[in-house]
């Protein structure tokens, strides 16, 4: 039979209200009484009913986390940062994978809200009007590693345009004038398009003409980097350097270059943005502009705790710094 709060109260010789106060860490309980209740809980094997506690307090101490691709190691770092801060503030997590599909994202958001989560962290691609409509709720929501186009919603991310600019400028400073780009989704304003804009700005400031033929869109994954690089290798005016919007696509590009019998960086230099673990595993090791993924997760969760507790927030749109990590895929100037 299920052990109830009534059973614990009877075993400890106290009221059910006293047991409830002990379980919920209410300080207004004498130490001797608290000890007696905990001993009864241990003897009976009582487990507090989280649903019942949530109904009573109107809080579930649970946050929902929507992740676009659970197989991507970048997002696992974000989730680790979220979980560490969630544990610190005694929140549980419900983690949902959306496969980067808008319909599934909307469905998962609604499901988490129906489960009465106290807050929601959303990681995804394009934040559409449908997403904004789904976010119209009294539950605090923070965008994590993404932003909405108008920067209305609370969010934590990097400046993707500036990160891409720094990556391409490094190639230019190393003497490259013919630079190709393997882009992400240009319909994604906060990531794909922003990195594309950073690429264009770096070329423009250096007086290098922008060429449509030197930009191809990938899907952020290794295979698209491999295939897209094969296109660039066939060009008569083949680029001497490549900027890939993600590490996975950059590694695909490196392998395509090597498969063609060419060398990185001697024949073609390669740089990207992210700094996933695989960036240091590939040979040559990948020069990349690092996103502080753990910090993005940790800061997002801390911001969400403030919103859930109705604490003052001076700036709900947080932009964290990025950093260039020099390795071997770009020659030093």
For residue 132, what are its two tokens? 């904004």
94-108 pLDDT, tens digit per residue, is 999 998 888 999 999
Q: What is the pLDDT of residue 114?
A: 87
Instruction: Answer yes or no: are the C-beta atoms of 280 and 291 closer than 8 Å.
Output: no
According to DSSP, the β-strands at 287-290 and 323-325 are antiparallel
Residue 251 has pLDDT above 70, yes or no: yes
Residue corresponding to tokens 């943005």: 273
Q: What is the pLDDT of residue 324?
A: 95
* Confidence category of residue 220, pLDDT binned at 50, 70, 90: confident
| Residues 6 or more apart whose Cβ sits within 8 Å of residue 88 | none
Q: What is the pLDDT of residue 333?
A: 56
* Confidence category of residue 76, pLDDT binned at 50, 70, 90: confident
Distance from the Cα of residue 314 to its chain's centroid: 22
Read off the pTM. Answer: 0.81
- Averaged pLDDT for residues 75-83: 91
Q: What is the pLDDT of residue 207?
A: 96
Using CA of residue 7, residue 8, residue 11, residue 17, what is the dihedral sign?
negative
- DSSP for 176-224, written as a single string: ---EEEEE--TT-TTTHHHHHHHHHHHHHHTTPPP-GGGEEE--SSHHH
Average pLDDT, the chain: 90
- Per the model's pLDDT, the better-predicted residue between 2 and 277 turns out to be 277
175-184 pLDDT, tens digit per residue, is 999 999 999 8
Residue 81 has pLDDT above 90, yes or no: yes
- Percent with pLDDT over 70 in the chain: 96
264-284 pLDDT, tens digit per residue, is 999 999 999 999 889 999 999
* Confidence category of residue 1, pLDDT binned at 50, 70, 90: low
| Residues 6 or more apart whose Cβ sits within 8 Å of residue 253 | 182, 225, 226, 228, 229, 242, 244, 270
159-196 pLDDT, tens digit per residue, is 999 999 999 999 999 999 999 999 988 887 777 899 99
Supply the DSSP symbol for 235: -
Residue 201 has pLDDT above 90, yes or no: yes
* Confidence category of residue 55, pLDDT binned at 50, 70, 90: very low
Q: What is the pLDDT of residue 52?
A: 54
DSSP, collapsed to helix, strand or coil, labels residue 141 as: strand
118-134 pLDDT, tens digit per residue, is 999 999 878 888 888 88
DSSP run (H or E) holding 287: strand 287-290
């Amino acid at each position: 039979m299920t052990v109830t709060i009534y059973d614990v109260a009877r075993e400890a010789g106290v009221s059910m209200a006293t047991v409830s106060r002990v379980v919920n860490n209410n300080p207004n309980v004498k130490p001797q009484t608290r000890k007696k209740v905990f001993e009864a809980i241990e003897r009976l094997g009582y487990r507090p009913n989280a649903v019942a506690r949530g109904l009573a307090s109107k809080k579930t101490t649970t946050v929902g986390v929507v992740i676009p691709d659970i197989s991507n190691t970048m997002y696992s770092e974000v989730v680790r940062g979220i979980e560490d801060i969630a544990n610190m503030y005694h929140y549980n997590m419900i983690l949902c994978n959306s496969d980067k599909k808008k319909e599934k994202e909307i469905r998962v958001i609604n499901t988490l809200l129906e489960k009465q989560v106290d807050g929601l962290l959303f990681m995804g691609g394009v934040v559409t009007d449908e997403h904004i409509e789904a976010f119209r709720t009294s539950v605090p929501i923070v965008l994590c590693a993404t932003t909405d186009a108008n920067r209305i919603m609370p969010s934590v991310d990097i400046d993707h345009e500036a990160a891409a600019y720094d990556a391409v400028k490094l190639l230019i400073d190393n003497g490259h004038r013919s630079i190709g780009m393997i882009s992400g989704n240009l319909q994604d304003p906060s990531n794909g398009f922003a990195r594309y804009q950073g690429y264009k700005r770096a070329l423009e400031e250096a007086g290098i003409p922008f060429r449509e033929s030197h930009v191809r869109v990938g899907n952020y994954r290794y295979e698209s980097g491999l295939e897209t690089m094969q296109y660039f290798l066939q060009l008569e005016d083949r680029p001497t350097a490549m900027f890939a919007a993600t590490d996975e696509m950059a590694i695909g590009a490196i392998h395509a270059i090597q498969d063609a019998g060419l060398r990185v960086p001697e024949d073609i230099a390669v740089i990207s943005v992210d700094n996933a673990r695989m960036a240091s595993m590939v040979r040559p090791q990948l020069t990349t502009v690092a996103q502080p993924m753990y910090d993005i997760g940790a800061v997002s969760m801390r911001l969400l705790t403030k919103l859930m507790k109705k604490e003052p927030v001076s700036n709900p749109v947080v932009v964290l710094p990025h950093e260039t990590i020099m390795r071997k895929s770009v020659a030093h100037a």
